[in-house]
Amino acid sequence: MNIIRKIKIIFILLFIFLNFENLLANKILFQKNEIIITSLDLENYQNLHQDYYGLKIGNSKSIKNLYMIIKIINKQIKNNPNFIEATNDIIQKDVQKFKEIYSEYIISYFLRYEILKKDFISLHIDKNGVKKLDDLFKSKINIFSDTNCQVISKTIDFKELKTDQKKKIITNMNNSSIFIDENSFVCLSKQKKEKVYNLTNVILLKEGNEKFIEYVHKSIK
């Protein structure tokens, strides 16, 4: 056996060994209704969630969220064949950019769910108004005159903002800088991001998952 062949065999064996180690490390943590969540899925989702929202999330909550995301997106794909194509253009750039970090599987589901959730919350605000938001989000907001949020132009109560400005904050909390009006930007602290994040969850819980699922079945035709 020549040396080149020996080297090739060594590389093949090393590749098999490394992948075998990965398979052993990738444990199944949850399985229900043909949805499987592994330890790597969980890790990818938690990292993506923290980078996207700036918030850490525990294992139990992560598994629950991920199951709901996969369930809703799978139902949407089943009931609406155009859904994949309709959302590809929106998410493709981010998927290609970050698929090696979070896995293409997780980031695709995550971003498609965020599209539906954003539309649903926006519709909820249009339909039900913002009084409930004002009652739940009793905080002052710094308005900056620059996109880097270095110069504060004014500080006002959240309830004093216009409805469309509130909607922009609620539906774009993952952005480091949120444009709400001409020369007006909002940069949320971690504490306020947590408040907004919890507020969106209150909206979803109030409407109920079934209503949300019913909504996504009718959207993006």
Q: Where are the domains of the chain?
A: 3-128+189-218
| Whether 109 contacts 126, CB under 8 Å | no
Determine the Cα–Cα distance for residues 65 and 121; give it in Å rounded to an integer: 17
Tokens 């991920």 sit on residue: 66
Tokens (6 digits) for 133: 């938001």
Helix (H) or strand (E) segment spanning residue 36: strand 35-38
Which positions ≥6 away from 165 have C-beta within 8 Å?
Answer: 180, 181, 184
pLDDT of the residue at 11: 52
Q: Buried b vs exposed e over 207-218: b needs ≥16 C-beta within 10 Å?
A: beeeebbebbbe
For residue 4, pLDDT over 70 is answered with: no
Tokens 């980078």 sit on residue: 51
For residue 38, pLDDT over 80 is answered with: yes
For residue 19, pLDDT over 70 is answered with: no
Helix (H) or strand (E) segment spanning residue 215: helix 209-218
pLDDT of the residue at 2: 60
Amino acid at the residue 219: S
Determine the Cα–Cα distance for residues 158 and 62; give it in Å rounded to an integer: 29
Distances from the Cα of 47 to the Cα of 9, 57, 156, angstroms: 36, 9, 33
Q: What is the mean pLDDT of residues 48-63?
A: 89
pLDDT of the residue at 75: 85
Which positions ≥6 away from 80 have C-beta within 8 Å?
Answer: 217, 220, 221
| Whether 76 contacts 134, CB under 8 Å | no
Which positions ≥6 away from 76 have C-beta within 8 Å?
Answer: 83, 112, 116, 216, 217, 220
For residue 220, pLDDT over 70 is answered with: no
pTM over 0.95: no
User: What pLDDT digit, counting tens, does each position of 124-142 carry?
Assistant: 788 777 777 777 777 888 9
Determine the Cα–Cα distance for residues 52 and 174; give it in Å rounded to an integer: 6
For residue 13, pLDDT over 80 is answered with: no
Q: pLDDT: is 52 or 208 the higher one?
A: 52
Q: What is the mean pLDDT of residues 189-210?
A: 73
